[in-house]
Amino acid sequence: DQVEHGILQRVGVTGVVRSNAQEQGVLRLVRSTALIHHEDGRL
């Protein structure tokens, strides 16, 4: 039981890290596209 619990904890932590990385990537894409649209608006 302890071993399974440890594995679940490790998988959960890595899952959180991956989701955070994906969210940051999405935020970067949104920011970059927003900047592009902003620049187009200026032009």
The residue type of 41 is: G
pTM, two decimal places: 0.43
pLDDT at 12: 74
pLDDT of 40 reads: 66
Cα 21 to Cα 1, 8, 26, 35: the distances in Å are 30, 20, 9, 21
Gap between the Cα atoms of 27 and 8, Å rounded: 28
In the predicted model, is pLDDT for residue 42 greater than 70?
no
Report pLDDT for 32.
85
Taking only the tens place, the pLDDT of each residue in 8-41 is: 777 777 777 778 888 888 888 888 887 776 666 6
User: SS3 helix, strand, coil % of the chain, rounded to 5?
Assistant: 95, 0, 5
